[in-house]
């Protein structure tokens, strides 16, 4: 029996060596691609973090990744140039594992060295880059467990630990998601490893079976039939394993496609938010200076008419900026009582421009107002009108009707609503498509994103309203937007029984834009206020503390929410409340989708004003805040 046991051991050892050799060939075959990806990804990440984190750290980290990649490339070339013997397999496996481990440690270190405190966008981008590197490495390093473990564990857990160290809710959540992503990647890679291992083993077994089949064919026909049957069984198993692998690869490709789509949408949101913020700052300066100029003109001067046209254009630009931000991110609505007639009229005028399709507008008498975010609801109406215009491209008329209605709520009470009905005479929508028309990413348009109606639906629901659709194939479609009505009159329609606020109150204005600071000081000084300015939150807190110590103090503080490279309005507000709990704070920003803008009282603010603001709006906000203060300064 001893010779039999020895032969079996030799066969097992030979099979293990063949399996290891095949796994190493897969690993070294993908080494060059991994090296290139490492160097390119490191360069891109270093460039994007340049100027945000320490430059020496970026240079040192990129140099480390480059050197490790060059070393791995050199060893890969040597591996293919030499004929490996069974005794060399263990050495080449160790070399590859060490190289991958060094690379994984480098990418894990990026989560610490290239981590930009206070820059959430760059933090998220860093996490996405590390996640992408882990996803790419999981398929490349799957043939050997020690290879993917030495890369994925440090690359995933070190950044997660760094996120946990910030200890706030956002970073704790990000750290938890990073840990879960690492665990999920390890599990998925482990499954890929098992499939690759099984596939290779089946391949070697099939080779052995074919050899046995040839030997048995020469010996006896009966043994030949048995071996053929065994080969068929093994082939079926291999086919089943291959189909399973193909199915999992397809699922993974779909998941990667969804992740890419989410990244694109988020990137668009960040870009749109930045553009809207800067654009609103510019509009505030332009609009404010127009109003200051009008103050210095007599009512009969011809220049006033030109300035009125410029002011009207600023309001249209403000609407377009709001549309851009809403389309990209769809943030929480900042509601104000608005004229539904004016909202619908503006949307119709915008949809009519550049189109030959006729749009008929019917406004019922005595239309109620609605407490809405005008930019978001305007985007909803514009999206629906554009869809109707495209459906009516073959000819016809779009009918837009606005009327007052009452709808039953959950307690069977009738509530007032304003209904906007948009009817086209297009080809209609089939029942199959109609059921999914508000689903995200569902579209029948070539090249469409499938987000327009989904975003519109979400916006209307956030306003407590309802968006519904009825359609008959071949007879057209009607969309109905039901918004809760408000019995208050829009601010622009209210009769003003008081002049603009004047007085001697002391105000502090914080904004990182010098032009906006100068404009704010000029406007508020014209209204009679004693104004001082600060460039960021730290300067504002210091100035407030000095003035308070001198026994003067400020009656109200206007804080810009977002400050580039400094303390913003939210952090400054917290410090001011610690310094003086009775301080009156007003938040201002061009990011209308920020939560603080819709729930400002929860963050310690007494009022909110959106950029671009008008002198009238600024006067109204200050009047409300200062009049609401029972102890008014009279210095």
Q: Where are the domains of the chain?
A: 13-79+87-269, 330-491, 498-628
Q: In what order do the strands lie in the sheet with 506-510?
A: 530-534, 506-510, 556-560, 585-589, 607-610
Determine what percent of the chain is predicted with pLDDT higher than 70: 82
What are the CA-CA distances from residue 627 to residues 211, 278, 303, 337, 503 (Å)?
97, 32, 35, 21, 12
pLDDT of 7 > 60? The answer is no
What one-character DSSP code corresponds to residue 581? Answer: T
* Confidence band, pLDDT 50/70/90 cuts, at residue 162: confident
pLDDT value of residue 274:
62
Helix or strand holding residue 259 (H, E): helix 221-295
d(CA 232, CA 238): 10
d(CA 251, CA 459): 32
| CATH T-level assignment (fold) for domain 498-628 | Rossmann fold (3.40.50)
d(CA 7, CA 11): 6
pLDDT of 403 > 90? The answer is yes
Per-residue pLDDT tens for 535-564?
A: 999 999 999 999 988 888 899 999 998 888
pLDDT value of residue 73:
87
d(CA 24, CA 123): 36
What are the CA-CA distances from residue 609 to residues 440, 597, 598 (Å)?
32, 8, 11
d(CA 616, CA 95): 72
Helix or strand holding residue 432 (H, E): helix 431-434
Per-residue pLDDT tens for 308-367?
A: 777 777 776 766 666 555 555 555 677 788 899 999 998 888 888 767 788 899 999 889
Most confident of 331-340, 435-444, 605-614: 605-614
d(CA 586, CA 88): 72
Determine what percent of the chain is predicted with pLDDT higher than 90: 13
Per-residue pLDDT tens for 591-602?
A: 655 678 778 888
Q: How would DSSP label each residue in 469-513? A: EEEETTTEEEEEEEEEEESSPPGGGSPP-SPPP-S--EEEEE-S-
Q: Tell which wins on pLDDT, 16 or 337.
A: 337
Of 77-81, 141-145, 215-219, 608-612, the least confident: 215-219
| CATH T-level assignment (fold) for domain 330-491 | Heat Shock Protein 90 (3.30.565)
Q: CA nearest 79: which of 95, 62, 65?
A: 95
Are residues 524 and 625 in contact, defined by beta-carbon separation less than 8 angstroms?
Answer: no
Q: Tell which wins on pLDDT, 596 or 441.
A: 596
d(CA 194, CA 28): 19
């Amino acid at each position: 029996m001893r010779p039999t046991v020895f032969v079996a051991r030799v066969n097992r050892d030979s099979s293990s060596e063949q399996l290891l050799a095949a796994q190493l060939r897969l690993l070294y075959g993908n080494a060059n691609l991994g090296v290139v990806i490492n160097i390119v990804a490191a360069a891109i990440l270093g460039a994007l973090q340049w100027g945000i984190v320490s430059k020496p750290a970026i240079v040192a980290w990129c140099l480390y990744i480059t050197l490790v990649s060059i070393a791995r490339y050199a060893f890969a070339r040597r591996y293919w140039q030499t004929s490996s013997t069974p005794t060399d397999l263990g050495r080449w496996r160790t070399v590859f594992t060490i190289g991958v481990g060094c690379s994984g440690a480098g990418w894990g270190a990026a989560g610490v060295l290239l981590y930009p405190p206070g820059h959430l966008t760059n933090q998220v981008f860093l996490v996405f880059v590390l996640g992408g590197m882990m996803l790419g490495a999981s398929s490349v390093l799957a043939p050997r467990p020690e290879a993917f473990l030495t890369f994925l564990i440090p690359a995933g857990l070190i950044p997660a630990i760094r996120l946990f160290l910030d200890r706030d809710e956002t970073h704790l959540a990000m750290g938890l998601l990073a840990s879960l992503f690492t665990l999920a990647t390890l599990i998925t890679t482990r499954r890929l490893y098992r499939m690759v291992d099984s596939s290779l083993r089946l391949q070697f077994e099939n080779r052995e079976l074919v050899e046995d089949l040839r030997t048995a064919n020469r010996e006896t026909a009966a043994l030949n039939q048995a071996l053929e049957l065994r080969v068929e069984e093994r082939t079926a198993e291999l086919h089943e394993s291959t189909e399973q692998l193909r199915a999992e690869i397809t699922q993974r490709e779909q998941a990667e496609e969804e992740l890419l789509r989410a990244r694109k949408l988020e990137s668009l949101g960040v870009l749109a938010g930045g553009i809207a913020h800067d654009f609103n700052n510019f509009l505030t300066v332009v609009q404010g200076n127009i109003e200051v100029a009008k103050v210095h003109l007599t009512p009969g001067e011809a220049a006033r008419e030109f300035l009125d046209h410029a002011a009207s254009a600023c309001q249209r630009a403000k609407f377009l900026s709001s549309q851009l931000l809403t389309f990209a991110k769809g943030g929480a609505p900042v509601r104000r009582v608005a004229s539904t007639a004016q909202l619908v009229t503006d949307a119709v005028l915008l949809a009519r421009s550049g189109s030959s399709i006729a749009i008929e507008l019917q406004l019922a008498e005595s239309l109620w107002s609605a407490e809405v975010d005008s930019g978001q609801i305007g985007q909803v109406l514009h999206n629906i009108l554009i869809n109707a215009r495209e459906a009516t491209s073959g000819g016809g008329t779009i009918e837009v009707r606005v009327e007052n209605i009452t709808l039953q709520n959950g307690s069977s009470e009738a509530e007032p609503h304003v209904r906007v009905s948009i009817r086209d005479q297009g080809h209609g929508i089939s029942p199959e498509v109609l059921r999914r028309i508000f689903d995200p990413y569902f579209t029948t348009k070539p090249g469409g994103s499938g987000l327009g109606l989904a975003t519109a639906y979400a916006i209307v629901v956030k306003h407590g309203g309802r968006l519904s659709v009825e359609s008959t194939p071949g007879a057209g479609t009607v969309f109905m937007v039901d918004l809760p009505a408000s019995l208050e009159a829009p601010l622009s329609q209210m009769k003003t029984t008081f002049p603009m606020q004047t007085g001697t109150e002391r105000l502090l204005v914080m904004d990182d834009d010098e032009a906006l600071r100068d404009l704010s000081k000029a406007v508020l000084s014209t209204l009679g206020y004693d104004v001082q300015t600060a460039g960021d939150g730290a300067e504002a807190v210091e100035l407030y503390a000095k003035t308070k110590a001198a026994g003067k103090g400020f009656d109200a503080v206007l804080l810009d929410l977002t400050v580039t490279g400094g303390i913003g309005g939210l952090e400054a507000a917290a410090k001011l409340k610690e310094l003086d709990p009775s301080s009156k704070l007003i938040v201002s920003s061009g990011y209308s989708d920020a939560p603080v803008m819709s729930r400002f009282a929860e963050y310690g603010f007494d009022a909110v004003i959106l950029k671009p603001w008008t002198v009238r709006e600024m006067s109204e906000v200050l009047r409300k805040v200062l009049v609401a203060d029972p102890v008014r300064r009279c210095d």
